[in-house]
Amino acid sequence: MTEEKPVIIKRYANRKLYDVEQRSYITLDKVTRLVQSGMAIQVIDHVTGEDLTSRVYAQILFELEKQKRGTLPENILNRLVQAGEKGWAHIREGVVSGPELAALVDQEITERLHVLEAHGELPAENVSNLKDLLLIQSQRIRILSASVQKEESSEQQEVIDTLRRQLKNLEKRIQALEK
């Protein structure tokens, strides 16, 4: 994917997809072509603000497979299903972890706040404060994650989960401001 800002797509209750920038409905085929051309996308539930991007990616893969385009070999699909949720978590950690993940999270926080500011949805004076708060939360998660890797503790895991929920809630609040 490119380093460009993602194409923001809202998904409505009727499962229709709406390209916010183009101000028009968009088909899943068109979204597929965007992704295949290297564009980043972000799909957000219109009502809840939940990020549905990974679900849309899965739907794209499903549709491509239905059309017999051979997107993924059967043995890979089989192993992904067998792995279950624990396997998915392990795969997610293996794909991006450590300092690389931290940099991606911090970059995403910064970019989203700048988008809000550029659209006039968040005053410039609030951007700096909100960015500081989110980056502090992000740093706390990294510190606690590192300590859990060394010594797994149920108390520490609860704190991490709480911080993750808080960060996710902050992300939802930012997404709500984007509306």
Q: Does residue 49 share a domain with residue 27? A: yes
More confident residue, 122 or 77: 122
32 band by pLDDT with thresholds 50, 70 and 90: very high
Q: Are 60 and 28 in contact (CB under 8 A)?
A: yes
Whether 82 is in a domain gets the answer: yes
Give the β-pairing of 41-45 and 24-26: unpaired
Give the three-state DSSP class for 40: coil
Percent of the chain residues topping a pLDDT of 70: 76
pTM as predicted: 0.47
137, pLDDT greater than 70: yes
139-176 pLDDT, tens digit per residue, is: 777 777 666 566 655 666 777 778 888 888 888 888 88
Q: Does residue 55 share a domain with residue 80? A: yes
Whether 55 is in a domain gets the answer: yes
Q: Does residue 110 share a domain with residue 87? A: no
Whether 168 is in a domain gets the answer: yes
Lowest mean pLDDT among 71-75, 117-121, 122-126, 170-174: 71-75
Q: Does residue 107 share a domain with residue 87? A: no
Q: Does residue 101 share a domain with residue 85? A: no
Q: Give the residue numbers spanning the domain of 32.
A: 7-93
Query: How many domains does the chain contain in total?
Result: 2
Q: Does residue 110 share a domain with residue 39? A: no
pLDDT the model gives residue 28: 94
The closest of 6, 3, 36 to 21, measured between CA atoms, is 6
Q: What rounded mean pLDDT belongs to the chain?
A: 79
Whether 2 is in a domain gets the answer: no
Q: Does residue 142 share a domain with residue 82? A: no
**DSSP letters spanning 115-146:** HHHHTTSS-HHHHHHHHHHHHHHHHHHHHHHH
pLDDT the model gives residue 1: 43
Give the mean pLDDT of 53-57: 91
Q: Does residue 37 share a domain with residue 61? A: yes
pLDDT the model gives residue 89: 64
Q: Does residue 128 share a domain with residue 108? A: yes
* d(C-alpha 34, C-alpha 7), whole Å: 9
Residues whose CB is less than 8 angstroms from the CB of residue 157 and which lie 6 or more positions away in sequence, other chains included: 148
Q: Does residue 81 share a domain with residue 28? A: yes
46, pLDDT greater than 80: yes
Q: Does residue 64 share a domain with residue 25? A: yes
2, pLDDT greater than 50: no
pLDDT the model gives residue 107: 80
Whether 1 is in a domain gets the answer: no
